[in-house]
Structure 1
Amino acid sequence: ELNENFNVSVPYYQTKSIKVRDSKFGLALVIETTPYSGNYLLGFQLAPEEKLREVHKEILTL
């Protein structure tokens, strides 16, 4: 189920990977957390695709 009001805060040092990948909703920004922080796999849909790629690139430069 897609929740449009979902908000999350993940400390950067607790992220294991940040990728763009295909999902059942189309392309998504996927953030995987470390085992220490729960091993979560969080997917976020951003439209248009250019914005998704821009946000992904910006996060990777942090």
Structure 2
Amino acid sequence: MTAEPRVLIIERAPYDGDPWSSDLAFPGGRLEPDDADARAAAERETLEEVGLDLSAARLLGRLDDRAA
């Protein structure tokens, strides 16, 4: 990790009938029963989706939850 803040954006996979198909987005997913909190879920999803380990990253803030 660098000392400079970075933003990770992914391109969603293309799927017929998905209104967000191919859109740009943050890595995301669902809170799993083993996740301690939303941050743990975000770290897990980012590792699963792009292979980036954020466990040592500094939290800059949090966006409001959004169900889609």
Structure with the higher helix share, 1 or 2? 1
Normalised TM-score (structure 2): 0.30
Normalised TM-score (structure 1): 0.31
Structure with the higher strand share, 1 or 2? 1
